[in-house]
Amino acid sequence: MSTFSRFTPLVSSLPATVPFVGPEAIERGRGLPVKARIGANESGFGPAPSVLAAIRDHAAEVWKYADPENFELKQALSAHLGVTPANLAVGEGVDDLLGLIVRMVIEPGQTVVTSFGGYPTFNFHVSGFGGRLVTVPYAGDREDIHGLLDAAKREKAPLVYLANPDNPMGSLWNADEIVAFARALPENTLLVLDEAYAETAPAGAIPPADALLDLPNVIRTRTFSKAYGLAGARVGYAISAPGTAVAFDKIRNHFGMPRLSIVAALAALEDQAYLADVLKKIVASRDRIAAIATANGLAPLPSATNFVAIDCGRDGAHARAIVDGLMAHGVFIRMPGVAPLNRCIRISTGTERDMALLEKALPQVLKTL
């Protein structure tokens, strides 16, 4: 296959990579309709009716670009979080913000520390900017903050990534431990603290939004994709010291935020009653997933997210067979990508209909195996 001859050496050396194979691709490839979409950690409960009404009310304005300064959303987030607008940066989902952070900090050949088996899209960005990944194994099925700290110091790494709560295992560290970890890092090591699941975490797991603002080497990333049900809108934001937050303005796409996504995020922030109701549904669905797993001889792991990791008791091949078998029944789930985490499958919370399909299909799949 012919290719353009003037790609950079870095781009030419990289494989074409899709960090996550979407359910749409599986439907196309296998000719199987997805009946229960419980694999991508979206919110099957959807956004609030008030959010949908706001989108409808503003749909005619879609011909306009959004405010490139994201002024209104920053004001709303500032009031909601108890920080100043100067502490905030807005982007097209956490994935976009992670790419910008790597671009801001990493030059080709520089070291980035992360967990082995952690969020693969972050690794994708590191490779895309020529960084060198140094990974630390999970300890007891959660990210090893002590190992990450040791590796960051040993490697003199400019960047370290930690998700709390964690994806793909759903585990967490409490707020005091996270703050201690951040303060123990060298001043010239930037911490990306990914808090995509902040809303679903129990009280005491997430430091207050203003807890680390005195540290210019900490950026916390959050999203409207999970509990707020706006994954398709792509709205993320970063919390950091003002001098760090303003760095995003040097390289971000200033017209990247869709206007209707901003409308949706503003409406979602206003409807905290709906969020509280969704969080109750997520807890109930986590319990339901755990009960279904246990009834089938599998071991659900404790989760602080909107998904449950389930230990299938064998190896990655066995877990993959369960994933593929459920898809044959129209139930889309995922699994961690590397051993020993890939002995598990991962199931997102969902509606009662989703849970009923899972409950019916899982024992049939296990019986065939």
Rounded alpha-carbon distances, angstroms, from residue 190 to 210, 216, 217, 221, 268? 17, 8, 4, 13, 30
The domains of the chain are located at 9-46+273-368, 63-271
Q: Which of 134, 21, 73 is nearest to 260 (CA)?
A: 73
- Whole-number pLDDT of residue 92: 98
Dist CA 329 CA 362 (whole Å): 9
pTM of the model: 0.96
Fold identical between 9-46+273-368 and 63-271? no
Q: Cβ(136)–Cβ(163) under 8 Å?
A: no
Q: Which of 323, 335, 336, 333 is nearest to 366 (CA)?
A: 323
The CA-atom distances, in angstroms, between 220 and each of 66, 94, 215, 272 are 24, 10, 11, 21
Amino acid at 176: D
Distance from C-alpha of 17 to C-alpha of 121, rounded to nearest angstrom: 10
Where are the alpha helices (H) located in the chain, listed in sequence order?
9-13, 23-30, 49-58, 71-81, 93-105, 120-128, 145-155, 175-184, 242-245, 259-270, 272-295, 316-328, 352-368
Phi, psi of 65 (to 5 degrees): -70, 155
**Alpha-carbon Rg for the chain in angstroms:** 21
Q: Which fold has domain 9-46+273-368?
A: Aspartate Aminotransferase, domain 1 (3.90.1150)
Q: What is the pLDDT of residue 1?
A: 65
CATH of region 63-271, choose from 1.10.10.1100, 3.40.640.10, 3.40.50.1010, 3.40.718.10: 3.40.640.10
Q: How far apart are the first and last CA of the chain?
A: 40
pLDDT on residue 20: 84
Tokens 């889309």, residue located: 332
In angstroms, the CA 62 to CA 128 distance is 32
Residue 301 has what DSSP assignment?
A: P
pLDDT at position 288 is: 98
- Residues of the chain predicted below pLDDT 70: 1
pLDDT of residue 17: 85
Q: Which residue has the tokens 């709303």?
A: 76
Could you give the CA distance from residue 148 to residue 143 in angstroms, rounded to a whole number? 8
279-307 burial, b at 16+ Cβ within 10 Å, e below that, comes to eebbeebbebbbebbeebebebbebbbbb
